[in-house]
A and B are shown apart, each in its own frame.
Chain A
């Protein structure tokens, strides 16, 4: 096995590597041990701090909280994809009157922090239910990022695709709808899904405006006196839920990418425009 940075190890290097491995394991064990010790020492493993999980009403509330998170995610995702498609088309338009405003809108919503956007809708214009502010914020921000993704996807297609389509007599909208967009979406699928993972994670911002989602649940249960204020246990559980949801989505992305790579219909792009966008999906 050879990588860019390291040559195939010789006998001495192998010995050194074993030493590093031993040190690595030691550090890891020490770190985990320390955390476990702190947990035990501060009573985080006490039955009382975990007993909230047993109660039916709390389980139902957890279910509701999870559903609220998923609701914000689903609504946000659908609207963001729509917004993205519309504004990508706008940015690619031949008419300056459409192109310039689309670009300005996309740039603006990408530059403003999502927290500030959500605050504008919740505290600034008082939309009422926190769900509206969360979904609208998620839509505008992620929609703008997705617009960039779609646009990059279309631009990365070989010029021959649109030229051929024009040559057989298709119109602009037909070229876009039947030739360019379907291929672009496939090529950009991994980038689109990573942006959806970002969207899923950002639903947690609803916490800041007291939308009843998972993190809000963590705060409520975490401050229950009768369970000894189990903030640490409940954070761990909620984190596990978030991580598994995001991993499922990421796994879906990898699966789709693999499938589309097998698929002959996809055009191999010369460079991967998706990479930068994916990497930037923070």
Chain B
């Protein structure tokens, strides 16, 4: 481990010699709403909350590669986005401020295992609630109702919904649910389907003009559109429903109830809207408030 650290330090040192190693990032924006930290919170009968209390910190599982949703700035190492704001909001109402949250980036494939192992206390990251997943983990929420949508260039008025995709080049991630839908519904010709490894590569192809549209959940697309609202837009005609929930350990019903209360309050108060406006809302698209579904 020490050798590894040393090697990284040496390498960084070498690079720093030539480039001086700037701290911070060029894209630092400080518009995120601040949260009131609650005091003396009690969640009776929640093993997860007891763990948090004993630790004195919250560990939240998030995505790190979804701009506007769950995104780790490679220059500053800071996490930003709508999912992050929701995670902060929940933590604050549980009694833990910004400085007491540890984010842990976990890709989609490792989410269930991380919750089962207890590596994270809860998970906020484009996590669609469905019955198959409910067999393994618990869900609070939904805190956002996403749906498959299309990201196009701002000046492109020829694509207005899924039925206008014929003859257009459509990009999404290899083996993902959205690309499957495009294939099975025959939304465009097979030779016009582009499958890449990440959405950011697709967005890049869209900006280069190699594809005409990127398709996946509107939340993810809004994240990209909020990065460059002058060149990209989300069509806004969803053709599936993906309720995003907060992933929790399956048996922790007490914490699930508590987080549902927190979300309910945030949605009906102004906190949810503030979080949305500061992140995904930058894209220029509005969103409907979700309705909590307790089970």
Contact = CB atoms under 8 A, between A and B. Distances in A.
Instruction: Determine whether A and B are in direct contact in the complex, meaning some CB atoms lie less than 8 angstroms apart.
Output: yes
B204 A231 contact: yes
B203 interface: yes
A51 interface: yes
Interface in B14-41: 15-16, 19-27
Contact of A55 (B4, B7, B75): B75
Contact of A56 (B22, B224, B228): B22
Interface string B53-76: 000000000000101000001111
Interface stretch (A79-87, A152-160, A217-225, A263-271): A217-225
Contacts of B75: 52, 55, 57-58, 226
A229 B204 contact: yes
B227 A225 contact: yes
B256 to A, nearest CB: 28
A66 interface: yes
A54 B8 contact: no
Given A57-B77, A58-B75, A59-B16, A66 B200 contact: no
Nearest 4 A-B pairs (CB), nearest first?
A223-B200, A63-B11, A56-B21, A226-B27
A235 interface: no
Interface string A29-58: 000000000000000000000011111111
Residue from the set A208, A221, A223 with the largest chain B CB neighbour count within 10 Å: A223
A19 B230 CA distance: 54
B24 to A, nearest CB: 8
A67 interface: yes
Contact of B201 (A59, A60, A64, A219): A219
21 contacts: A52-B75, A54-B20, A55-B23, A55-B25, A56-B22, A57-B74, A57-B75, A63-B7, A63-B11, A67-B4, A67-B11, A210-B197, A219-B200, A219-B201, A222-B204, A223-B203, A225-B224, A226-B27, A226-B73, A229-B207, A231-B204
A98 to B, nearest CB: 39
Contacts of B25: 55, 226
Given A59-B12, A225-B227, A54 B21 contact: yes
A223 B4 CA distance: 27
B74 A225 contact: no
Which of B12, B20, B76: most chain A CB closer than 10 A? B12
B130 interface: no
B22 A55 contact: yes
B19 A59 contact: yes
A221 B200 CA distance: 10
Nearest to B113: A128
A63 B11 CA distance: 6
B120 to A, nearest CB: 17
A62 interface: yes
Interface of B: 4, 7-8, 11-12, 15-16, 19-27, 65, 67, 73-77, 107, 197-198, 200-201, 203-204, 207, 224, 227-228
A260 interface: no
Interface of A: 51-64, 66-67, 208, 210, 219-227, 229, 231
B19 A54 contact: yes
A183 B74 CA distance: 50
Contacts, number: 81
Contacts of B24: 55
Nearest to B19: A54
Given A55-B75, A210-B197, A67 B26 contact: no
A58 B74 contact: yes
Contacts of B77: 57
A221 B227 CA distance: 15
Nearest to B203: A223
Given A67-B7, A225-B227, A55 B200 contact: no
A221 B73 CA distance: 10
Contacts of B204: 222-223, 229, 231
B28 to A, nearest CB: 10
A57 B8 contact: no
A64 B12 CA distance: 10
A61 B15 CA distance: 12
Contacts of A51: 26
Contacts of B16: 56, 59
A271 to B, nearest CB: 43
Contacts of A231: 204
A42 to B, nearest CB: 10
Contacts of B21: 54-56, 59
A71 B19 CA distance: 26
A61 B74 contact: yes
A223 B171 CA distance: 15
A233 to B, nearest CB: 13
A69 B4 CA distance: 13
Contacts of B4: 67
A225 B11 contact: no
Contacts of A210: 107, 197
| Most chain B CB inside 10 Å of its own CB: which residue of A53, A62, A210, A225 | A225
Contacts of B7: 63, 67
B8 A220 contact: no
Nearest to B21: A56
